[in-house]
């Protein structure tokens, strides 16, 4: 048993595990494929290596500060590996007035220990939002208003530096936001169906407010928002989603070599049915993260720093008194003693 522990505690295992961790971090950064085990596996190997070293080498246990530091480091390694296996990253676009739906979330990363049904417990509705801009379209403060469903529809305001925390998830506002056209489609002798087409991010792609859409009847259309003027880039201004309903915008529809411009409330007959431009709204893009062990990682790191400080204080600043309990002689007294001798 001790032989196996000695092998596990060897520095010959530490170096390749640290090298594998560096490679795993680079793979995770590139995000080309599922990289959870590329980071968590080296962390677990390092945790086993450190735990074995604490058992095999008694000098770690003889110094309380050093022992505290290494136990905290062991906790960081185990928590870090578990965090990689439980974490979730995703993004979603929410239309003003729309309720959050987990099925609309685009998953970017999900650990094997992450519960797929966990996100379904999140319930809120998007209200209005505003973004301040400076000259040259410099994005400044973002304010997003949402209503928490099931909690008395309590309104919450958050932004770039203060995410929305709900059910263990954090929703961060992003620079990705824009306009959406609410369209009503009606086929012959059928009830109208209402949907929304999101256009590219605004004002980043102010000059390219174009998207393609295929009607339920099978017609492929190119839709374009036509604004009377573009976003100002020489002065400070505010983008407010509440102003979308008052903007004099038109919807240009291209299909089968013909162009049409629709104002709000106008219908357009198309093969298979007819289309109506109902309303203009805005959408906000969110980055979603689930990192439940971050607080524990911070606590373990704080304990480790305190243990290391304790160890160095004992080594460098804590001086034992000389034999007899007296004070250490000053330089003047030592010099006098030499002369007297």
Reported as a pLDDT band with limits 50, 70 and 90, residue 337 is: very low
Segment 149-174 mean pLDDT: 88
Domain that holds residue 53: 2-87+292-317
Tokens of 137: 């379209």
Residue 330 domain-assigned (yes or no): no
pLDDT for the residue numbered 158: 96
141 and 259 in a single domain? The answer is: yes
pLDDT for the residue numbered 335: 47
Residue 323 has pLDDT above 70, yes or no: no
Locate tokens 């595990």: which residue?
17
Q: How many domains does the chain have?
A: 2
Segment 147-160 mean pLDDT: 84
Residue 151 has pLDDT above 60, yes or no: yes
226 and 308 in a single domain? The answer is: no
Residue 117 domain-assigned (yes or no): yes
203 and 271 in a single domain? The answer is: yes
Instruction: Find the range with the poorest average confidence among 135-149, 269-283, 312-326.
Output: 312-326
Instruction: Find the range with the poorest average confidence among 25-29, 121-125, 239-243, 276-280.
Output: 25-29
Question: Contact 214/221 with Cβ under 8 angstroms?
Answer: yes
134 and 61 in a single domain? The answer is: no
CA–CA distance, 296 with 43 (Å, rounded to integer)? 16
Residue 145 domain-assigned (yes or no): yes
Segment 290-311 mean pLDDT: 90
Locate tokens 């059910």: which residue?
167
Work out the number of other CB atoms within 10 angstroms of the CB of residue 37.
Answer: 16
Reported as a pLDDT band with limits 50, 70 and 90, residue 290 is: very high
Locate tokens 């739906």: which residue?
101
CA–CA distance, 145 with 147 (Å, rounded to integer)? 7
Total-model pTM = 0.80
Q: Give 36 or 207, the one with higher predicted confidence.
A: 207
14 and 112 in a single domain? The answer is: no
Dump pLDDT digits (tens) for 230-289: 888 899 999 999 999 899 999 999 987 789 999 999 999 988 889 999 999 999 999 999
Reported as a pLDDT band with limits 50, 70 and 90, residue 341 is: very low
Query: What b/e string do you get for 59-91 counting C-beta neighbours within 10 Å, with b at 16 or more?
Result: ebeebebbbbbbbbbbbbbbbbbbbbbbbbbbb
Helix (H, G, I), strand (E, B) or coil at 294: helix
Share of the chain above pLDDT 90, in %: 54
Residue 226 domain-assigned (yes or no): yes
279 and 308 in a single domain? The answer is: no
Residue 62 has pLDDT above 50, yes or no: yes
Report the sign of the C-alpha dihedral through residues 202, 206, 208, 210, in that order. positive
């Amino acid at each position: 048993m001790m032989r196996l522990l000695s092998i596990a505690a060897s520095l010959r295992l530490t170096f390749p595990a640290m090298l594998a961790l560096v490679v795993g971090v680079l793979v995770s950064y590139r995000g080309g494929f599922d990289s959870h085990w590329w980071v968590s596996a080296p962390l677990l190997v390092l945790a086993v290596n450190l735990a074995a070293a604490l058992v095999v080498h008694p000098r770690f246990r003889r110094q309380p500060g050093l022992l505290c530091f290494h136990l905290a480091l062991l906790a960081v390694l185990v928590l870090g590996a578990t965090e990689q296996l439980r974490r979730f990253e995703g993004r979603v676009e929410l239309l003003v007035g729309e309720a959050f739906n987990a099925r609309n979330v685009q998953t970017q990363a999900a650990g094997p220990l992450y519960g797929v049904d966990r996100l379904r417990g999140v319930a809120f509705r998007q209200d209005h939002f505003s973004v301040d801009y400076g000259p040259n379209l410099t994005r400044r403060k973002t304010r997003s208003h949402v209503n928490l469903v099931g909690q008395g529809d309590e309104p919450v305001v958050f932004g770039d530096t203060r995410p929305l925390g709900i059910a263990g998830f954090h929703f961060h506002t992003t620079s990705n936001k824009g306009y959406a056209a609410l369209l009503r489609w009606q086929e012959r002798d059928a009830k109208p169906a209402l949907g929304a087409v999101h256009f590219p991010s605004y004002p980043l792609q102010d000059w390219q407010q174009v998207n393609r859409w295929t009607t339920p009847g099978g017609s492929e259309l190119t839709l374009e928002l036509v604004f009377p003027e573009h976003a100002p880039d020489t002065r400070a201004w505010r983008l407010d989603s509440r102003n979308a309903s008052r903007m004099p915008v038109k919807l240009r529809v291209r299909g089968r070599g013909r162009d049409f411009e629709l104002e709000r409330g106008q219908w357009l007959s198309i093969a298979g049915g007819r289309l109506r431009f109902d309303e203009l709204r805005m959408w906000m893009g969110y980055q979603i993260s689930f990192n439940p062990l971050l607080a524990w990682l911070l606590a373990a790191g704080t304990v480790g720093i305190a243990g290391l400080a304790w160890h160095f204080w004992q080594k460098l600043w804590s001086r034992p008194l000389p034999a007899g309990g007296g004070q250490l002689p000053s330089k003047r007294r030592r010099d006098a003693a030499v002369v007297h001798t």
